[in-house]
Amino acid sequence: MVFRKPLGAALIAVTLFSLPAVAVEDSLQKQESIDKNAVASQKRIDSLADQTTDDLQNYRIASQRLESLTIYNQQMEKLIASQKAEITSIQKQTAEIDNIETGALPLMLKMTETLEQLLAADVPFLKEERQDRVANLRTLIDRADVTAGEKYRRIMEAYLVEVEYGRTIEAYRGELVIENDARTVDFLRIGRVGLFYQTLDGNESGRWNNSRGAWELLDSGYRTSVRDGLRIARKQTPPELLTLPVNAPAQ
């Protein structure tokens, strides 16, 4: 019995064995080239993917910065608008202050003049100190670098000091001049109703007679009261009742 190979298989085997070695080598090189190109393509794809990822990240960062800048700009616009409103308000206030100062200046001058007249007619205690205060007010009013509000405050402060004199008791040492005779004495001021003096040795006491506008000697019986009044004013002894002549209130 005779077995035979299929005709097709024999032809394939013959064909394979009949291919030249050069053709096989060429096929392998082409396959290798294809593989290399595939690897290069994959690298380019990977690189593009990485670049895309980086670009996406940069875009997100840029978007966040844009959002932050938008919010910042909106806030700055509000701030600028607020500043413009503030500038407008300050300009308006400045104009109002100028008007107020123009209207208040005559009043302040009058108040200072009245204060000066009060000092001239008042009991002559702390005379130089009080006159200096009025002179300083006149100088202050003429200064352009001082606001109207500050000028008015200082004038009112001077008035309050004068008001305080009327309800306090005070002892101080100073110079007394009577008929061109100057000497150092202790002064006792009781509000505005009494101004007394006593020599440092305690042998002479006197008072300011407001109706006469002059100093006058007191009887020796008042020396103890004046001395006790000086001690009370200096807080050297507790308050007590004093027997002293006082100026009668003006009618």
According to the model, what pLDDT value does residue 12 have? 47
Token couple for 46? 């990977």
pLDDT band at residue 156 using 50, 70 and 90 as cut-offs: very high
Q: Tell me the per-residue pLDDT of 25-47, one tens digit each, with 9 for 90 and over.
A: 777 777 777 877 778 878 888 88
- The structure tokens 């009991």 sit at 123
CB–CB of 105/149 below 8 Å?
no
Can you state the percent helix, strand and coil of the chain, rounding each to 5? 65, 15, 20
95 versus 118: which is more confidently predicted? 118
Q: What is the mean pLDDT of residues 116-125?
A: 92
Report domain extents, the chain.
100-165, 169-251
According to the model, what pLDDT value does residue 165 have? 93
pLDDT band at residue 81 using 50, 70 and 90 as cut-offs: confident
Token couple for 219? 């009887």
8 versus 54: which is more confidently predicted? 54
Asked whether residue 101 carries a pLDDT value surpassing 70, the answer given is no
Asked whether residue 247 carries a pLDDT value surpassing 80, the answer given is no
According to the model, what pLDDT value does residue 55 have? 80
CA 111/CA 117 separation, integer angstroms: 10
High-pLDDT (> 90) share of the chain, %: 44
Q: What is the mean pLDDT of residues 170-181?
A: 92
Q: What is the mean pLDDT of residues 125-151?
A: 92
The candidate with the shortest Cα–Cα distance to 217, out of 248, 190, 179, 250, is 179
Token couple for 137? 């007010």
CA 37/CA 31 separation, integer angstroms: 10
Q: In Å, how far are 103, 178, 195, 206, 233 from 221, measured between CA atoms? A: 56, 22, 17, 11, 20
Asked whether residue 52 carries a pLDDT value surpassing 70, the answer given is yes
According to the model, what pLDDT value does residue 13 have? 47
CB–CB of 145/157 below 8 Å?
no
CA 171/CA 185 separation, integer angstroms: 11
According to the model, what pLDDT value does residue 94 have? 60
> Which residues make beta-bridge pairs with 227?
none
9 versus 233: which is more confidently predicted? 233
